[in-house]
Amino acid sequence: MNWLDDIKWDANGLVPAIAQEIGSNDVLMFAFMNREALAKTAELGEAVYFSRSRKRLWHKGEESGNVQKVHELRLDCDNDVVLLKVEQLGHAPHEPGIACHTGRHSCFFQQLKDGEWKAVDPVLKDPQSIYK
């Protein structure tokens, strides 16, 4: 049996995928993968997701250079969520990598404070300079 057959794909053939930074354990982002994206991720050792808005595979960093080098692939107890333990590349050496299209380290930069969502993490690089 193929290891991809063990995954419980949703009705659209997708599985949620969480990217977590190896070392810091920061949760960097959430995306979806289809069968082809997960197979390519395992083959390349770099994160490949499925973009629902673009309806195509999306190799993380293809435009920004902020590639995610995959160290481990894990599957949750229900076989319906994939965890990628990644090294976030593409920013300056010895500084946090950029995972978010807003130019931040993590997509989870907003915190609920006093009944409002507040951005609590800094922009590391202007998104206008990242995306052409």
**pLDDT digit of tens for each residue in the chain (132 aa)?**
699 999 999 999 999 999 999 989 999 999 999 999 999 999 999 999 999 999 999 999 988 889 999 999 999 999 999 999 999 986 555 677 899 999 999 999 999 999 999 999 999 988 888 776
3 state SS of 4: helix
Domains, the chain:
11-94 (3.10.20.810)
Which tokens go with 102? 């807003």
User: How many other CB atoms are there within 10 angstroms of residue 39's CB atom?
Assistant: 15
- Which pLDDT does position 65 carry in this prediction? 86
- Which pLDDT does position 19 carry in this prediction? 97
Provide the 8-state DSSP code for 22.
T
- Which pLDDT does position 111 carry in this prediction? 95
**Structure-token match 């690089």, residue found:** 125
CA dihedral (87, 92, 95, 98) positive or negative: negative
